[in-house]
Chain A
Amino acid sequence: MFTWYKKAKVSNKLLASYIFLAFISVLISYLAAYQVSSDVARESVLSGGVLLFLIIGLIISRRVSKPFLELKNLIGQIEHMTNEHETGDIDVMIPEDQFDGEYQIIVKKINRMVNDLVSMNKKAMDVVAQFGKGNFEAPLENFPGKKAFINESIETLRTDLKKVHAEINRLIKAAHEGRLSERADSSEFSGDWATLIDGLNSLIDAILAPIQEVSAVLNELDKGNLQMRVEGNYKGDHERIKIALNDTVTTLENNIKEVSEVLTEMSEGNMDVAITTEYRGDFSALKKSLNHIIQSFNSLLHNINNASNQVAAGSKQVSDSAQELASGATEQASSIEQLTASMEEISSQTDNNAKHAGKADSLVNVAKKEAVQGNDRMAEMLKSMDDINESSSNISKIIKVIDEIAFQTNILALNAAVEAARAGQHGKGFAVVAEEVRNLAARSAGAAKETTALIEGSIKKVEKGTKIAKDTAGALNKIVDAVTEVATSVNNIAVASKEQASGISQINQGIMQVSQVVQANSATSEESAAASEELTSQAELLREMVAKFKLKDASGQTFSESEKISPKVLKMIEKLGKQENERELVQPEKQVPVAAAINDHDFGKY
């Protein structure tokens, strides 16, 4: 405790003595107060103690303060100078004339010492100033004695500055060369220099950390990963970079997501899509382009759709017409076939006719000859009739003679009878004979009369016959004339029939040719019907494929594809479907019998 006292400053000793005295006086006053019984008295004793203490303090301070006043002034001046120096006015000195004696000597020495120090400091500071201006080579005179520490300090500073400079230069160079992982080595430095270098390193780290994260994010971005964000907690510019990059990536992600969604929809055939959100800058070009593409696709597909509907409907019509044509041609072909058969029939009949006409012609000629011959005979007959007439008149004459003979015989018989009668009995037989003769004469006369009548009848008949024969001859002549005409006609008919036959044969040839053409036409039209049907089914397929796309309508609204098809086409499609169904219904596969194989067996080299 006393060693502390010995070492203590004067002022402290004074303070300690003062406190000690004050303690004693307070103790005394307390002890005195304990001796008093009443409270009032105790309070007055305490107040007295304190008063005593104050009085003692006052006396002591008066005694001590005088030699201190000068000292205090000196200290004040020193303090003033120190303060001025601290505030930068290093020209301020302690005024020497304010002090006497020993104090003045002390003051002068202090002033000189301060002056020296200031001058030394100025020199040192000049160097430091040079250092500050970047001249690390600025010289410093060597200070004597222990002041040499300033040289040491300055030189240490110079070395440190140069090292820091070199280290920073190295970092700058490394930065220039892109070696961003290069750091300063703080182990070469001590104290704040080390802190500075560490600070520098952490500055670089602070600058690089966001750059590295940004770089990592950009790398991921480069790999197409749009999920990465700059997560670090950065401030200022780095924060702005972070926000900008994150915004960029978000924008990219959103844009790409939307574009991707749109494209996916498109790939699934939905063209009723568009980029609807706001795209900025160059992205707006992307949006514009994509929307334009979609628009183009829509209009293109609309056109294709319309065209394919048209083609489907058109080709249906074509195939229907082709089918009709084919049916027509086939019908035509079978009609022609029938016509050919009929013509063949006609042809053979015509041939027959010609043949018969020829036959008739020759028959007529024969008939004509016969008729002419008949006519000749008729003439001969007429002559014979005349002869008969003549013979008849000759016979008549003879019969007249016979009649006369009979008459005379009768007379003779009469005469004989008379003579017989005269002869009596003897004449009786004679009379019988005479009677018989008379009878004979009568019979002769009768016969002659009858014959005459017959001859007359005969003559009359011959006359009649002659007339008939004459008529017949006329008729026969007429017949001959007619037969000649008939012969001519029949001849004509025969010739005509032959011509007709050859005409019909030509017609037949023509019809055969027509038939061939019609057959070919039938095949052609059947083929074109089949081909156009094939086309129709393909057009239908095309239509179906295009119909799979969901399109915007002209006003930009979606429509159902089936609404767009014309009712006619729909009807056709319905009809087609129905036919298919019908076909399926009436064709149970199992009931169809299998035909005998007709393939060839040997295919040569095949």
Chain B
Amino acid sequence: MVITTKEFNQLAAYIEKNYGIHLKTEKKTLVVGRLQHILQEKNFQNFTEYYEYLIQDKTRQAAVTLINNITTNHTFFMREADHFIFFRDQVLPFLKETVKDKDLRIWSAGCSTGEEPYTLSMIINDFFGKEKFWWDTKILATDISEKVLLKARVGRYLDRQIETVPDQWKQNYFKKVNDQTTEIKETIKNEVIFRRFNLIDKCFPFKRKFHVIFCRNVMIYFDNQTKNDLIHRFYECTEPGGFLFIGHSESLSRDITDYKYVIPAVYRKGG
């Protein structure tokens, strides 16, 4: 299956406009590789037919399938571990001191298959210990792809996927399903609210501001304008003194945001 430049540009523009994912011409292979089986299943002869189907589909199924397939969902437990150490040693003690209503609001934006919010939840569980009873520490974890959210909700991982998890966590927060698979325990699963959310939506529907936002290695797929707009919306919905975590390869320019640099890829709102 091949995609013509025109077809690719059409599709890339559609994807970028609706989901913010910026696909350069180098990504032709990616688009073909990830979408060709949809075309085969639906018996489309070419990408033009597929595009017509996509834009005329009144149910959201075509879009959902597109999103499920076009997004890159790379994640693993303890990814960019420095962040979790900082979160545990600096952020949580600060929040414990300052959040008076004991309602912790942490958002894992672009949670993929759930490794990040589960890691955060386990850290929170360890940190608060028995005091957690008094706290509402539920984490909001969103992604645009239904496919990964499904996996995340199930919370089952191959053993090789949890190799990086500390043994104590494996004991406390995981249970064996079979000789290859391990599942997150309900106590942790219940601490994460998985929802589908498109980050490029101009209006965030959240009731209250967040203490911490993790949006790591998500904006690397966006173009600059989309990225800057998103950072602006993040800032607007961050509590004063709240934190934004981004991927280690990313950085925020001082010109475009009021977030202040703390450590690499960690920023903070003043106040």
A-to-B contact residues, CB < 8 Å = 323, 326-327, 330-331, 333-334, 337, 520, 522-524, 526-527, 530-535, 538, 541, 579, 582-583, 586-587, 589, 591-606
Question: Do the beta carbons of A534 and B14 come within 8 Å of each other?
Answer: no
* Candidate in A327, A538, A589 with the most chain B CB atoms within 10 angstroms: A327
**Known interface pairs A527-B220, A531-B247. Does A603 touch B18 (Cβ–Cβ under 8 Å)?**
no
**Known interface pairs A527-B72, A595-B14. Does A587 touch B9 (Cβ–Cβ under 8 Å)?**
yes
Question: Do the beta carbons of B25 and A599 come within 8 Å of each other?
Answer: no
- Which residues on the A side are within 8 Å of B58 (C-beta)? 596
* Candidate in A535, A592, A594, A602 with the most chain B CB atoms within 10 angstroms: A592
Question: Do the beta carbons of A534 and B13 come within 8 Å of each other?
Answer: no
Name 9 A/B residue pairs within 8 A (Cβ), A-sorted: A326-B30, A334-B36, A530-B72, A587-B9, A587-B12, A593-B14, A596-B58, A597-B60, A605-B103
A interface footprint on B51-67 (CB within 8 Å = 1, 0 otherwise):
00001011110011001
Per the bound structure, the CA–CA distance linking A531 and B251 in Å amounts to 11
In B14-34, the 8 Å CB interface with A consists of 14, 16-19, 24-26, 29-30, 32-34
In B30-51, the 8 Å CB interface with A consists of 30, 32-34, 36-37
**Apart from A337-B37, A523-B73, A599-B201, what 19 extra A-B contacts exist at CB < 8 Å?**
A527-B72, A530-B72, A530-B217, A531-B220, A531-B249, A531-B250, A583-B9, A586-B13, A592-B14, A595-B18, A596-B63, A599-B205, A600-B195, A603-B205, A604-B140, A605-B105, A605-B138, A605-B193, A606-B107
Whole-angstrom distance from the CB of B266 to the nearest CB of chain A? Answer: 16
A interface footprint on B156-194 (CB within 8 Å = 1, 0 otherwise):
000000000000000000000000000000000000010
Partner of B140, one of A327, A535, A595, A603: A603
- Which residues on the B side are within 8 Å of A591 (C-beta)? 13
In the complex, which residue of chain A has the Cβ closest to the Cβ of B105? A606
- Check: B221 CB closer than 8 A to any chain A CB: yes
Main secondary structure of the interface of B (DSSP, over half): mixed
Whole-angstrom distance from the CB of B178 to the nearest CB of chain A? Answer: 14
Whole-angstrom distance from the CB of A537 to the nearest CB of chain B? Answer: 8
* Candidate in A522, A589, A598, A600 with the most chain B CB atoms within 10 angstroms: A598
Partner of A327, one of B29, B197, B205: B29
Number of chain B interface residues as a range: 35 or more
Question: Do the beta carbons of A604 and B138 come within 8 Å of each other?
Answer: yes
Question: Do the beta carbons of B64 and A598 come within 8 Å of each other?
Answer: yes
Partner of B217, one of A522, A531, A606: A531
Per the bound structure, the CA–CA distance linking A526 and B193 in Å amounts to 27
Considering the complex of A and B, which 6 residue pairs feature the smallest CB-CB distances, nearest first?
A531-B249, A334-B33, A530-B220, A527-B74, A330-B33, A523-B74
Question: Do the beta carbons of B140 and A593 come within 8 Å of each other?
Answer: no
- Which residues on the A side are within 8 Å of B32 (C-beta)? 334
Whole-angstrom distance from the CB of B53 to the nearest CB of chain A? Answer: 12
Question: Do the beta carbons of A589 and B206 come within 8 Å of each other?
Answer: no
In the complex, which residue of chain B has the Cβ closest to the Cβ of A531? B249
- Which residues on the A side are within 8 Å of B17 (C-beta)? 589, 592, 594
In the complex, which residue of chain B has the Cβ closest to the Cβ of A527? B74
- Check: B130 CB closer than 8 A to any chain A CB: no
In B203-233, the 8 Å CB interface with A consists of 205-208, 217, 220-221
- Which residues on the B side are within 8 Å of A595 (C-beta)? 14, 18-19, 55, 60, 63
Question: Do the beta carbons of A604 and B193 come within 8 Å of each other?
Answer: yes
In the complex, which residue of chain B has the Cβ closest to the Cβ of A580? B24
Per the bound structure, the CA–CA distance linking A532 and B64 in Å amounts to 28
- Check: B196 CB closer than 8 A to any chain A CB: yes
- Which residues on the A side are within 8 Å of B125 (C-beta)? none
Question: Do the beta carbons of A532 and B63 come within 8 Å of each other?
Answer: no
- Which residues on the B side are within 8 Å of A592 (C-beta)? 13-14, 16-18
Whole-angstrom distance from the CB of B42 to the nearest CB of chain A? Answer: 16
- Check: B198 CB closer than 8 A to any chain A CB: yes
Question: Do the beta carbons of B74 and A520 come within 8 Å of each other?
Answer: yes
- Which residues on the B side are within 8 Å of A523 (C-beta)? 72-74
- Check: B136 CB closer than 8 A to any chain A CB: yes
- Check: B144 CB closer than 8 A to any chain A CB: yes
Question: Do the beta carbons of B30 and A526 come within 8 Å of each other?
Answer: yes
Per the bound structure, the CA–CA distance linking A599 and B206 in Å amounts to 13
Whole-angstrom distance from the CB of A92 to the nearest CB of chain B? Answer: 105
Whole-angstrom distance from the CB of B36 to the nearest CB of chain A? Answer: 6
Question: Do the beta carbons of B25 and A582 come within 8 Å of each other?
Answer: yes
Per the bound structure, the CA–CA distance linking A530 and B247 in Å amounts to 11
- Which residues on the A side are within 8 Å of B18 (C-beta)? 592, 594-595
- Which residues on the B side are within 8 Å of A526 (C-beta)? 30, 72, 74
Question: Do the beta carbons of A606 and B193 come within 8 Å of each other?
Answer: yes
- Which residues on the B side are within 8 Å of A531 (C-beta)? 217, 220, 247, 249-250
- Which residues on the A side are within 8 Å of B72 (C-beta)? 523, 526-527, 530
**Known interface pairs A594-B17, A595-B63, A606-B105. Does A530 touch B221 (Cβ–Cβ under 8 Å)?**
yes
In the complex, which residue of chain A has the Cβ closest to the Cβ of B73? A523
A interface footprint on B61-105 (CB within 8 Å = 1, 0 otherwise):
001100100001110000000000000000000000000000101
In the complex, which residue of chain B has the Cβ closest to the Cβ of A598? B60
- Which residues on the A side are within 8 Å of B25 (C-beta)? 579, 582-583
* Candidate in B12, B37, B220 with the most chain A CB atoms within 10 angstroms: B220
In the complex, which residue of chain A has the Cβ closest to the Cβ of B67? A598
* Candidate in B14, B136, B207 with the most chain A CB atoms within 10 angstroms: B14
Per the bound structure, the CA–CA distance linking A347 and B30 in Å amounts to 28
Per the bound structure, the CA–CA distance linking A513 and B217 in Å amounts to 26
Question: Do the beta carbons of B249 and A331 come within 8 Å of each other?
Answer: no
In the complex, which residue of chain A has the Cβ closest to the Cβ of B9? A586
Question: Do the beta carbons of A598 and B63 come within 8 Å of each other?
Answer: yes
Per the bound structure, the CA–CA distance linking A326 and B59 in Å amounts to 32
Per the bound structure, the CA–CA distance linking A309 and B165 in Å amounts to 39
In the complex, which residue of chain B has the Cβ closest to the Cβ of A602? B195
Per the bound structure, the CA–CA distance linking A535 and B220 in Å amounts to 9
Per the bound structure, the CA–CA distance linking A330 and B16 in Å amounts to 20
Per the bound structure, the CA–CA distance linking A526 and B64 in Å amounts to 20
Per the bound structure, the CA–CA distance linking A524 and B196 in Å amounts to 22
- Which residues on the B side are within 8 Å of A533 (C-beta)? 220
Whole-angstrom distance from the CB of B188 to the nearest CB of chain A? Answer: 16
- Which residues on the A side are within 8 Å of B201 (C-beta)? 597, 599
Question: Do the beta carbons of A600 and B196 come within 8 Å of each other?
Answer: yes
- Which residues on the B side are within 8 Å of A541 (C-beta)? 253
In the complex, which residue of chain A has the Cβ closest to the Cβ of B205? A603
**Known interface pairs A531-B249, A589-B17. Does A606 touch B207 (Cβ–Cβ under 8 Å)?**
yes
Whole-angstrom distance from the CB of B68 to the nearest CB of chain A? Answer: 10
Whole-angstrom distance from the CB of A210 to the nearest CB of chain B? Answer: 54
- Which residues on the A side are within 8 Å of B249 (C-beta)? 531-532, 534-535
Per the bound structure, the CA–CA distance linking A592 and B9 in Å amounts to 10
Per the bound structure, the CA–CA distance linking A291 and B142 in Å amounts to 56
- Which residues on the B side are within 8 Å of A601 (C-beta)? 205
**Known interface pairs A533-B220, A594-B18, A600-B197. Does A587 touch B13 (Cβ–Cβ under 8 Å)?**
yes
- Which residues on the B side are within 8 Å of A603 (C-beta)? 140, 193, 195, 197, 205-206
- Which residues on the B side are within 8 Å of A586 (C-beta)? 5-6, 9, 13
- Which residues on the A side are within 8 Å of B33 (C-beta)? 330-331, 333-334, 522
Question: Do the beta carbons of B26 and A323 come within 8 Å of each other?
Answer: yes
- Which residues on the A side are within 8 Å of B207 (C-beta)? 605-606
Per the bound structure, the CA–CA distance linking A606 and B138 in Å amounts to 9
Per the bound structure, the CA–CA distance linking A129 and B126 in Å amounts to 107
